[in-house]
């Protein structure tokens, strides 16, 4: 058996925790016995949930009763002290006791506490929040999704290197990369976007194929695998995409379940509808990745269920096996 991937898990973050988190670990362990879970949280609650469902060789519980609350501001979370489950999980990575950290807790707190504990990768000025999005042909990496509202051309160039490295770590393929913009023409966009375009066009990085600009309506086409923007634009795009997906699935559900003909039609198309629903299932794409620090930090959605959390544990494992940090360091 190859060396285990050590995942530091904040068991107390997010809705319905620690049950959701522990159920996610149990589910993940069924298909992957090469993960080692360092679980931070209330030992009394966790032990009764995990029981004998995970091999004792695959986990340990680090007891703490203190946790970061969902309503805490990042400053309040940091002031709660160094004994919260979130802080201790991140510190575990800092001390090289774990390879990667994951939390479904407060996003702002996670970013701030991560930056307080972990160093930046050399020559990178700002970390970025990235995520996986489905497209017609597979998956895309999109960043930044809100960590940095304002960015320089240097930041966007760094995000390009980091996004391409993440894609290669997960999918082992050279991606096509584009800058999210208001048009596909070279003269479109603000000065920072145009300057970044020139840098990427001139440098011809071997780690990705630069495809120029991409507009919002082309994000899901699948021709581009890494999409780069500042945090403000990326976050708006993310929320728009999520809202559109929810609207489509809800409207389709209403249309096919509203009357007898609709119900009959849905029965005839059950297989196709099931595939469609699975394609838009947010649990499959759970796990935003905070990159730019010298250790990767994964943010699971606070409201996701245990299946979604299990999928984000898979992302953790793939990031470490794909040597993400080394790829960024080699290319930056």
What is the residue-wise DSSP string for 13-43?
A: -STTTTHHHHHHHHHHHHH-TTEEEEEEE-H
Q: Which of 99-103, 248-252, 288-292, 295-299 has the lowest mean pLDDT?
A: 248-252
CA 84, CA 126: separation in Å to the nearest integer?
25
Q: Which residue is it, tokens 């703490």?
A: 64
Q: Are 25 and 39 in contact (CB under 8 A)?
A: yes
**317 half-sphere exposure, CB direction, 13 A CA radius:** 20
Once rounded to an integer, what is the mean pLDDT over residues 56-68?
Answer: 95
User: Residue 272 — very low, low, confident or very high, per pLDDT cuts 50/70/90?
Assistant: low
- 159: pLDDT strictly greater than 90: yes
Name the burial class of residue 31, with classes exposed (0-12), middle (13-18) and buried (19+) by CB atoms within 10 angstroms of its CB.
Answer: exposed
For strands 297-299 and 100-103, give the pairing.
parallel
Q: Determine what percent of the chain is predicted with pLDDT higher than 70.
A: 88
Domain spanning 1-123+292-332: which CATH class is it, in words? alpha beta
Looking at residue 41, its pLDDT comes to 96
Q: Are 77 and 106 in contact (CB under 8 A)?
A: yes
Once rounded to an integer, what is the mean pLDDT over residues 238-245?
Answer: 76
Residue-averaged pLDDT of the chain = 87
Q: Are 123 and 116 in contact (CB under 8 A)?
A: no
- 246: pLDDT strictly greater than 90: no
Looking at residue 1, its pLDDT comes to 42
Report how far apart, in Å, the C-alpha atoms of 57 and of each of 35, 53, 307 are: 10, 12, 22
Report how far apart, in Å, the C-alpha atoms of 146 and of each of 142, 161, 178 are: 11, 18, 18
- 242: pLDDT strictly greater than 90: no
Q: Are 320 and 292 in contact (CB under 8 A)?
A: no
- 315: pLDDT strictly greater than 50: yes
Once rounded to an integer, what is the mean pLDDT over residues 88-111?
Answer: 94
**25 half-sphere exposure, CB direction, 13 A CA radius:** 34
DSSP three-state, residue 203: helix
Residue closest to 157 by CA, chosen among 188, 202, 94, 119: 202
Intervals of CATH 3.40.718.10 along the chain: 1-123+292-332, 125-285
Once rounded to an integer, what is the mean pLDDT over residues 303-320?
Answer: 91
Q: Which of 36-45, 54-63, 170-179, 277-286 has the lowest mean pLDDT?
A: 277-286
- 11: pLDDT strictly greater than 90: yes
User: Residue 141 — very low, low, confident or very high, per pLDDT cuts 50/70/90?
Assistant: very high
Q: Determine the angle formed by the axes of helices 191-203 and 153-171, rounding to 10 degrees.
A: 50
Domain spanning 125-285: which CATH class is it, in words? alpha beta
Q: Are 283 and 138 in contact (CB under 8 A)?
A: no
Cα-atom radius of gyration of the chain, to the nearest Å?
A: 21
DSSP three-state, residue 5: strand
Q: Are 115 and 127 in contact (CB under 8 A)?
A: yes
**47 half-sphere exposure, CB direction, 13 A CA radius:** 7
> Can you count the helices (H) and strands (E) in the chain?
12, 11
- 6: pLDDT strictly greater than 90: yes
* Top-confidence residue, 5 or 70: 5
CA 80, CA 180: separation in Å to the nearest integer?
38
Looking at residue 279, its pLDDT comes to 54
């Amino acid at each position: 058996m190859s060396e285990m991937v050590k995942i530091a898990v904040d068991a107390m973050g997010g809705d319905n925790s620690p049950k959701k988190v522990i159920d996610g670990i149990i589910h993940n362990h069924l298909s992957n016995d090469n993960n080692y879970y360092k679980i931070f949280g209330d030992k009394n609650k966790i032990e009764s949930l995990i029981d004998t469902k995970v091999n004792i060789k695959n986990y340990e519980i680090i007891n703490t009763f203190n946790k970061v609350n969902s309503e805490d501001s990042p400053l309040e979370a940091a002031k709660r002290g160094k004994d919260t489950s979130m802080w201790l999980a991140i510190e575990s990575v800092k001390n090289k006791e774990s390879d990667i950290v994951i939390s479904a807790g407060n996003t702002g707190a996670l970013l701030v506490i991560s930056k307080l504990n972990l160093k930046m990768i050399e020559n990178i000025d700002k970390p970025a929040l990235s995520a996986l999005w489905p497209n017609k042909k597979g998956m895309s990496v999109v960043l930044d999704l809100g960590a940095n509202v304002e960015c320089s051309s240097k930041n966007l160039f760094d995000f390009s290197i980091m996004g391409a490295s993440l894609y290669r770590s997960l999918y082992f393929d050279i991606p096509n990369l584009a800058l999210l913009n208001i048009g596909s023409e070279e003269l479109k966009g603000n000065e920072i976007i145009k300057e970044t375009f020139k840098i990427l066009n001139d440098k011809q990085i071997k780690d990705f194929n630069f495809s120029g600009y991409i507009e919002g309506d082309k994000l899901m086409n699948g021709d581009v695998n890494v999409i780069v923007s500042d945090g403000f634009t990326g976050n708006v795009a993310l929320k728009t995409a999520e809202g559109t997906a929810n609207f489509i699935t809800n409207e389709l559900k209403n249309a096919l379940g509203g009357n007898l003909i609709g119900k009959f039609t849905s029965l005839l198309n059950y297989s196709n509808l099931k595939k469609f629903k699975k394609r838009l299932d947010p649990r499959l794409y759970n796990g935003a990745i905070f990159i730019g620090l010298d250790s990767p930090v994964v943010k699971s959605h606070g409201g996701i269920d245990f299946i979604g959390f299990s999928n984000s544990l898979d992302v953790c494992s793939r990031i470490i096996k794909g040597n993400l940090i080394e790829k960024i360091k080699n290319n930056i």
